[in-house]
Structure 1
Amino acid sequence: MTTIEVVAAYSKALSQGDIPKAFSHFSPEAKWHQPGNHQFSGTKIGLEAIGKMLGDMMGATQGSLVINPTGALLSNGSLVSFPVHFSGKIGGKTVSMNGVDLFEVVDNKIVQVWLFSEDQVAEDEFWN
């Protein structure tokens, strides 16, 4: 598989709600770098920590968190850039913005993910 195919397979499984299949594309020691200054910020190491964070985000938004691709996946060596739009609701607060997820793929497994938001302050306010 190419690096793009690995990330595309992860994204497809995630969009279908198949979390075990989505996580099968990750290295067990993967690192997820969540930006900002809010309850989910920081580096999560390993599938258990990453899964807990994503589950807690879905719980906080009562399942309303949606992440949609907005453009082509682009690669440069082991890195894949994935433009996205994400939205969600927590009580009376909403978020709807663009971002870029950057994946590092080694030996057909995602080993690191960095997220970038177009308005980190607004995202921080949403999650806090």
Structure 2
Amino acid sequence: MENQQKQLVTEFLTAVKLLDLEKIGSLLDPEVKWSQPGNNDVSGLKNSQQEVFEMVGKMFAITGNTLKLNAFNSISINDNRVACQLHWTAEKVSGEKLDVYNTDIYTVEHDKISRVDIFSADMTQEDNFWKS
């Protein structure tokens, strides 16, 4: 069971890296709960796949489509939760850059990601970057 959850999260993150929206959508529960940290224009709890896609769309709009998942690793498992470290970069038209590591905890239920909790290694950088 743990290997299935690890594989599902690996497939999800690979799809994120490749911007494969169809695959991403197939792996997220339609009612996924997504906790985006901070006090900025994209933070807060998202309560559905649609709200998550709206948040990501806003992130791409803010960054002129430069938001990029560069790498993910350190995948660890605890029951139906999978933790991993992600490295993100982006740049605004103004030249302001984002270069941050996050630790994400994915909860897998019924072969879908049902909850995502994001922890930023540099919340100040993220808050400053994601505020308009």
Give the TM-score range, shorter chain. over 0.9
Verify the 8 A CA contact 2:81 2:107 in the aligned structure 1. yes
Please state if 1:88 is matched with 2:101. no
Higher mean C-alpha displacement, 72-81 vs 31-40: 72-81
* Corresponding residue for residue 66 of structure 2: 64
* Corresponding residue for residue 124 of structure 2: 121
Which of 23, 26, 33 pairs up with 1:24?
26
Amino acid at match of 1:77: D
* Corresponding residue for residue 75 of structure 1: 77
The 5 Å alignment of 1:95-110 reads 95-110=98-113
Unaligned runs of 5+ residues in structure 2 are: none
SS in 2 for 1:33: strand
Amino acid at match of 2:58: D
Question: Post-superposition shift, 1:14?
Answer: 2.1
**What's the Cα RMSD here?**
1.2
Residues 21-58 of structure 1: per-residue CA shift (max 9 Å, x gap): 11110111001100000011100111111101001101
Amino acid at match of 1:127: W
What is the TM-score when the length of structure 1 is the normalising length?
A: 0.94
Question: Post-superposition shift, 1:71?
Answer: 2.1
Distance 2:60 2:111 in 1: 27
Unaligned runs of 5+ residues in structure 1 are: none
Question: Post-superposition shift, 1:68?
Answer: 2.6
SS in 2 for 1:28: strand
Distance 2:14 2:75 in 1: 13
